[in-house]
Structure 1
């Protein structure tokens, strides 16, 4: 006998829709420009995302882990509902899928066409400053001071005057904490943070190498080839989880209490980050007339792409 399961069909459609949201959000976060948080706002699930992320507490995690005991299963079910895993899981899988695809492309393009890629990123970032800055009001000495602080800080990092020492474990964890927490904030992209910290190409290459090594392992490849990039990925994930539980919450509190100042600071960070991709070009290419022309041309393409996207969705707002 066959049974109709319209609820199951609806569930599958909802999971597919949420997975598609994750693809959009992951693509945005993997490219410097529009943040995943802005995409969540545009698609209408930002409030649910923040509620689900901030629902993760040690108490709820412990309640879920104790669910094996019959007397504690009711509390475990309540904790699972509060964590909204039915939403977070397909969203997370979609984000990971997009990030892996983009990371593979970035790893390849960074080697073959660095001028085109980083020129394009420069245009994306510059255009995002304009689109996000339109909605801000800077009308007091405090606002001006905050804007100058954020811009100056980003410029110092972009110019490599203030930098992270190498790519050791602590640096990877720190980069993960800052970047992943930025992923759920409207206005600033996690990948932009990684570019600013000088970790974007390195981490994209490590993620791409890890995924390819896993595929090779299934067909008889070496476990050692998985271990090295896998360690980097695990460290980044640990940092990301830490960032979601700490930095993201701090910024959310700042947005709730001082929304205007916080948004000015975040957008000013983006403004100061405009030159950051250019340092990657300088590592592989001399600044000849040809290089400058190609970089400028691709920057224009990146800016047009972001302005076009803004037009299609009806405008971006940092929150």
Structure 2
């Protein structure tokens, strides 16, 4: 059991590391590692019913009802990762952005096939949902950043919206924060451990989780394959966001938001020609292959774990 929750914490750490990158979703990692539906079910179980169980049957019953061990291990990994890896990821994006983006590109691309296989036979409505998810991801990628002051209300609303995106595979919560102009403030607050700002972002994130997780659980219960197809579509569409080689678009401004958002995707050789900088093509390909290999390894370990569990149950 301890080994199991250490694995959950490790997956949480991977989610936290991904959430720091404005373009990669922690929900993507949860989706790839096979804990997505358990995460949503556990989050949606939190609420009034859990409080009633707490008072009627005690702490142990309430803890079990909300899958407390799972949530504790997962979010311990997420928080530990965010507060320890935020600077590492930021430095990587600052000095080797192409390699970092390539790693996540390979990770996401390799995850599409195994996730699609989980659905079995595809119906026409699943293909429609896939296209709609694809279009949503493309629409989000075309959004341009605005400037919003980091007031308590804006930080609360930003946290609420960002966490909803964060638990959607393929749509990054950090990307949404960047779009609304709050990403630099939140990242600085994390680096400096500014509790004044982090509390409002955290309260917004908790509110968003409680509400949006229930919506997703309902959709998965009533329209399971259609919802999964929609999520896979978002995942495929997010490849546009994480493409490693980008050039500034016409009309791009200055500052943190423009540096990431107002960009257009180009082939690596065009990037090298236009910027006079190396494309890091070999390093990027290696990073992408490492990301893809990680997905294959995760899937294999998942099958092995399921097989062992099945043999124990016989």
TM class, shorter-chain normalised? 0.5 to 0.7
Show the 5 A alignment for 1:145-160: 145-160=128-143
**Partner of residue 301 from structure 1, selected from 281, 286, 294:** 286
CA shift for structure 1 position 305: 1.7
Do residues 253 (structure 1) and 218 (structure 2) align? yes
CA shift for structure 1 position 196: 5.0
CA shift for structure 1 position 266: 0.2
Give the equivalent residue in structure 1 for 2:43: 53
For the 8 Å contact 2:40–2:214, the answer to whether it is kept is no
Unmatched runs of 5 consecutive residues or more in structure 1 = 1-12, 65-71, 183-187, 215-225
For the 8 Å contact 1:169–1:235, the answer to whether it is kept is yes
Pairwise CA RMSD: 3.9
Do residues 18 (structure 1) and 5 (structure 2) align? yes
Give the equivalent residue in structure 2 for 1:106: 89
Give the equivalent residue in structure 1 for 2:209: 244
Alpha-carbon separation, structure 1, partners of 2:155 and 2:284:
33
Q: Secondary structure of 2:33's partner? A: helix
Q: So what's the TM-score if we normalise by structure 2?
A: 0.67
Show the 5 A alignment for 1:191-202: 192-194=171-173, 196-197=175-176, 199=178
Show the 5 A alignment for 1:34-183: 34-39=28-33, 41=35, 47=38, 49-50=39-40, 52-61=42-51, 75=58, 78-136=61-119, 139-160=122-143, 165-166=146-147, 168-169=154-155, 172-182=158-168
Do residues 270 (structure 1) and 249 (structure 2) align? no
Alpha-carbon separation, structure 2, partners of 1:126 and 1:155:
16
Alpha carbons of structure 1 residues 279 and 20: separation in structure 2 relative to 1, 3 Å:
closer
What whole-Å deviation, never above 9, does each CA across 1:294-316 have from its counterpart, x for those lacking one? Answer: 26545533431232123323459
Alpha carbons of structure 1 residues 261 and 111: separation in structure 2 relative to 1, 3 Å:
same
CA shift for structure 1 position 55: 2.7
CA shift for structure 1 position 139: 4.5
CA shift for structure 1 position 199: 3.0
Alpha carbons of structure 1 residues 131 and 307: separation in structure 2 relative to 1, 3 Å:
farther
Alpha-carbon separation, structure 1, partners of 2:120 and 2:37:
23
CA shift for structure 1 position 106: 2.0
Q: May I ask how many residue pairs the two structures share in their alignment?
A: 270
Structure of larger gyration radius:
1
Unmatched runs of 5 consecutive residues or more in structure 2 = 19-23, 149-153, 249-257, 303-314
Alpha carbons of structure 1 residues 83 and 251: separation in structure 2 relative to 1, 3 Å:
closer
CA shift for structure 1 position 249: 1.6
For the 8 Å contact 1:103–1:205, the answer to whether it is kept is no
Alpha-carbon separation, structure 2, partners of 1:74 and 1:208:
41
What whole-Å deviation, never above 9, does each CA across 1:4-26 have from its counterpart, x for those lacking one? Answer: xxxxxxxxx83x76255213223
Alpha-carbon separation, structure 2, partners of 1:113 and 1:268:
28
Alpha-carbon separation, structure 2, partners of 1:205 and 1:104:
13
What whole-Å deviation, never above 9, does each CA across 1:214-263 have from its counterpart, x for those lacking one? Answer: 4xxxxxxxxxxx35xx51x3333223212321211211121121111111
Alpha carbons of structure 1 residues 170 and 298: separation in structure 2 relative to 1, 3 Å:
farther
